[in-house]
Amino acid sequence: MKDKIIRDIYNVLENRRDHPGESYTSQLMQDSHKKAEDKILEKIGEEAAEVIIASKNNENLVQESADLIFHTLLLLVYKGVELNQLLDEFERRRG
């Protein structure tokens, strides 16, 4: 089901954090604390800029948005934020 894809991605990222391997995300999270966080934040900045450009150019907006959301989830996993905390915040705002 499409509605559980975010949870699935989140679980994969948690697994890559907890069981280091050769993947891009696993390697990124294994850098020294400050270096890893800086790299993730830099990537989020790049992806945010790409979303803006994609929107202005009316092309690749979905793909660039997926990249931004992915890297934001990566940051949350890296920082130890549970997915339910994010979902609860969305629910609270919807209230």
2: confidence class by pLDDT, cuts 50, 70, 90: confident
Report pTM: 0.92
Q: Which residue has the tokens 């979902």?
A: 87
Q: Which residue has the tokens 């696993």?
A: 26
> Of 40, 23, 39, whose CA–CA distance to 81 is shortest?
40
Cα angle 54-57-60, degrees, rounded to a multiple of 5: 40
Q: Based on C-alpha coordinates, what's the Rg of the chain? A: 14
pLDDT digit string, tens, across residues 40-76: 999 999 999 999 999 999 999 999 999 999 999 999 9
* One-letter amino acid of 20: P
Q: Which domains does the chain have, with CATH numbers?
A: 2-94 (1.10.287.1080)
Q: Which residue has the tokens 């915040």?
A: 89
